[in-house]
Structure 1
Amino acid sequence: MAAITDDKLPVEDAHDTAMDVAKGSVHAHTEYDEYLDLCRDFTGQRLQLLVRKVDWHVLPQLIIIYLMSYVDRTNVGNAKLFGAIPDMGMTGQDWNTALSVFFVTYAAGGVAGAFSGLLAYGIGHLDYTWGFRGWRFIYCIEGLFSLILSILALWVLNDTPAKITKWLTPEEKKFLVLRNRFAAGGETGIAEKEEFSWKAAKDAFTSFHIYAVALMEFTLCVTVYGYSFILPTINLGYTAANAQAMTAPPYIFACIVTVFSGWAADRYKQRMLSVVLPNSLAACGFIIMMVTSQYPHLPGVTLFGVFLTTAGLYPISPAVTAWIALNCAGSMRRAVGIGAMISFSQLGGIVGSNIYIAGQAPTYPVGFGISLGMLVVCGIIWPIIYYFILKGINQKRAAIPLEEIQAKYTEQQLSDMGDRSPLFRYST
């Protein structure tokens, strides 16, 4: 990495700097040297305080926006419960087809499910108010929230650390910028490629890892959207309004499990288990619902299955998103990779909206069967296989001497290679 030289400075500044260097009062540092110095400063409690500061300024806005995005997607089952199908003269298949069209355009969270259910419970009491059915109020009121929030987001969302001036000190800003820049290079001092590059975007679309993780997220979308659509209509012996309210406790429990799962994944550095264990929990829940849905006198057991399924499904999306973010080096490749993964996987909503056939209610053998099969094959078995693939790649790269890598590639080449660099290690 090239050091700072006087020929990059104006003549008078170069002269002054040369004099300072001669006196030993100024030492030229590369960006990586500066980053290492900052790493020594930001340790222990100081680093924790900085992380908490970022969390408090960034996460609340994102949580609310994510919540409302899921409310819009999951209120379909609530609308169905309050008479949307007969009011519009639709059949069950017409309803599924409409949902498929919705997810084609959409392809371009636990708290949300609870919020949507509680909102629908309250809005449900407006059924037949002013001569309108409750499902119309669900769409109007919940849609209005999203519209207002989208306008507010223009002012409340934070930019990148380099552009924040209000709540980060210059030293904190510099540390965060450099930490992002050198994250992929480990202790090699090689910076990530940050500027826009069509090659980096193309590499993201041709990366095996994007599709490997997208398969897990696609499976989640198939199961979670189909499940969300029929959850309010599962026969537990409640009235329509109470059925809405009873969907909230499982989602609240899922929120708690999601937070714990994220903490455990970071604490123990286990990305594969953060996907496999929740999928296993969801699979157990589906098995319970498949069996007990045939016995209306066992609503408590069915509700237990609902709790397990919901708690198992919602931690998966944060887990796989974190996994692909950690395994894509370079800000451009990471951004494109995450976007591509989410876009591809959202098409799972097309499948999920068509596998729960109205004529098969309340047992839904096809819907539950497909969901369970995909959870086992793509949500449990495939992540384990992918884990061993990553371990194998890491072992091969670790066996290459550092001197051999440095002799074969320049620093710029290693930076351009991103996660394909022999210096990069995949998170498992």
Structure 2
Amino acid sequence: MNDLGVSDNNSSSISSITGSIVQEVQVTAVDDTNDPEGKKLLRKQDWHVIPPMALLYLLSFLDRANIGQAKLNGLTESLNLSSHEYNLCVSLFFVTYAVFEIPSNLALRKFGPVLWFPIIMVAWGTVITLMGLAHSYGSLLACRLVLGACESGIFPGGCYYLSTWYTERELSRRISIFFSASALAGSFGGILAYGISKMDGVGGQEGWRWIFYLEGIITVIVGVLAYFFLHDFPSHPPSFLTKSEHKRVRIRLKIPQETEPREHSIWKEVFIALATWRLYIWALCYIGLLVPFYSLSVFSPTIIHNLGFETYTAQLLSAPPYAFAFVTTMTTAYFSDKYNRRSIFILCWLLITAVAYVILIAVQQPIIKYLAVILATGSVSPAVASCIVYLSVNIHSQEERATSLAFMISFGNIGGIISGQIYRTQDAPRFILGHAVNLGFCALGITSVLILRFSLRWKSQHIGA
């Protein structure tokens, strides 16, 4: 039984009934899960598709969250920023990030991943480098706004890109690997910032500026190289597959042989996606996850610092929560794929996240509060990855999926705006307001996933009746 409450053998028939508009190739499906040659081909595909996208997202997450590490190294004092001004710089990144996500996904469809991803990567790497030159609140804020627009295409675009390369049963683990790059970024981001900050005074530049300089330059270099190691959508023959292997991939993914443009059909499916009421419940679930996720990514060094640890110690202690998040995300992906379940994992991890915030609010001991930060980080991360897959496997048309993913992620990233405002300097060291708001959004996520779980089960039973 899967998340729809029906057997896996019926999933393909439900797919056709529930509105997939893409015409499928009328061939016998290839089951690569039991065929040795198929497994070998899938592993080959994994090695060429997933690591490049994970690297791009790792740098994206590192670049958007490094403002939190820069704060510990004197950013706010150097630019004479108030708590409100710093929080606005954190939050307004997500305004342009959310606004440009759907247009960026549509641009990805038009220009292809080989061209589009390197373009936006070089763009945001350049902006990050320029952030090191900021000398006022206005210049830092402008850089954050532009950075949000440039980074907007990498995560929803990456999720959509992977969903075109894998079947529903294969997708969870791959998207989780892609998403776990954020945990890796958080894990070594603090260690990297700790090392770079030791360059304080080199070239007459403060340590926090070197964080932006070096991380931005690395992103630009990788962005240029990405043009040569990324691959197109599976509908186009990739260089790493032979002609027969590509044919097998197309059959497995049921990619149609299209001979004429489908612009009318594409826009029709975009409107169908936006007219589906469950999409808005998914969006509420996603924002319930992203408020705690983003607040932890930016403010966990500050939270840990206010537990009584020195600046450099706090930077190093920000690594273990994300190392734990990487483990939980990958473990969840494995069992989610094995049992073809999504919603139950989201629900369980959200409940654990809520418990962690209750501990942060109620408990005074620093060590226990630090363990609660680890627990919250390690439980919200797999829930985010599972939510993305939960939406992807329940929408079968490529254009509907691209639009739905971009909308859910775009709406959810409003949570980034909220998360940037709830941890205020005047609330230190306990940050009761921030923890309480995150607890409330966990409750929103729990409610939303329950609605989705029961409505999808009712839908499948109604179709089968």
Map 1:64-83 → 2, pairs under 5 A: 64-83=55-74
Q: Does 1:258 align with 2:354?
A: no
Residue among 55, 80, 85 paired with 1:89: 80
In structure 1, how many angstroms separate the alpha carbons of the residues matched to 2:366 and 2:190? Answer: 19
- What is the deviation of 1:124? 1.9
Relative contact order higher in (CA < 8 Å, ≥ 6 apart):
2
Q: Is the 8 A contact 2:281 2:452 kept in 1?
A: yes
Q: How does 1:249-398 map to 2 (within 5 A)?
A: 249-292=320-363, 295=364, 298-376=365-443, 378-398=444-464
| Runs of 4+ off more than 6 Å | none
- Residue 44 of structure 1 corresponds to 35
Q: 2:229 aligns with which of 153, 156, 162?
A: 156
Q: Judge conservation of contact 2:25–2:254 (CA < 8 Å) in 1.
A: no
Structure 1 spans left out of the alignment, 5+ residues = 1-29, 184-190, 400-428
Distance between the aligned counterparts of 1:41 and 1:256, measured in 2? 26
Compute the displacement of 1:133 (Å): 2.4
Deviation at 1:319, TM superposition (A): 0.9
Counterpart secondary structure, 2:309: coil
Aligned counterparts of 2:362 and 2:442: Cα–Cα separation in 1 = 17
TM-score calculated relative to the size of structure 2: 0.72
Question: Aligned pair in 2 of structure 1 residues 204, 79: CA closer, same or farther (>3 Å)?
Answer: same
- C-alpha distance in 1 between matches for 2:24 and 2:299: 54
Q: Partner of 1:236 in structure 2?
A: 307
In 2, distance between residues paired with 1:308 and 1:149?
Answer: 33
Letter in structure 2 aligned against 1:242: T
Q: Which amino acid in 1 is paired with 2:249?
A: L
- In structure 2, the CA distance between the partners of 1:194 and 1:65, relative to structure 1 (3 Å rule), is farther
Q: 1:114 aligns with which of 157, 181, 187?
A: 187
Identity fraction in percent: 33
Q: Would the aligned equivalents of 1:286 and 1:309 in 2 still touch at CA under 8 Å? A: yes
3-state SS of the aligned residue for 1:328? coil
Q: Deviations over 1:316-373 (max 9, x none)?
A: 2221111111111211111121112111211211111011111001111111001011
Name 1:15's counterpart in structure 2. none
The amino acid across from 1:230 in the alignment is F
The partner residue of 2:200 within 115, 127, 131 is 127
Q: Matches of 1:31 and 1:82 in 2, distance apart?
A: 55
Contact 2:32–2:39, Cα closer than 8 Å, also in 1: no
What is the DSSP-based 3-state SS (H/G/I as helix, E as strand, rest coil) of the residue aligned with 1:327? coil
**Structure 1, 153-162 or 360-369: larger mean CA deviation:** 153-162
RMSD of Structure 2 on Structure 1 (CA): 2.3
1:180 paired to 2:253:
yes
State the 1:165 CA deviation.
4.1
Distance in 2, matches of 1:48 and 1:242, equals: 45
Q: Equivalents in 2 of 1:232, 1:385: separation in Å? A: 35
Counterpart amino acid of residue 449 in structure 2: P
Does the CA contact (< 8 Å) of 1:287 and 1:372 recur in 2? yes
CA distance in 1 between counterparts of 2:220 and 2:374 reads: 31
The 3-state SS of whatever aligns with 1:168 is coil
- Once the two structures are overlaid, the 10-residue window that deviates more, 235-244 or 41-50, is 41-50
Is 2:296 the partner of 1:224? no
- 2:267 matched to 1:205? no
TM-superposed deviation, 1:58: 0.6
1:170 offset after TM fit, Å? Answer: 2.5
Secondary structure in 2 matching 1:270: coil
Matched residues in 2 for 1:278 and 1:148: separation?
37
Query: Structure 1 residues 198 and 308 mapped into 2: Cα distance closer, same or farther (>3 Å)?
Result: same
Any conservation in 2 of the 1:194–1:332 contact (CA below 8 Å)?
A: no
Partner AA of 2:67 in structure 1: V
The 1-side partners of 2:219 and 2:32 are apart by 42
Equivalence for 2:103 = none
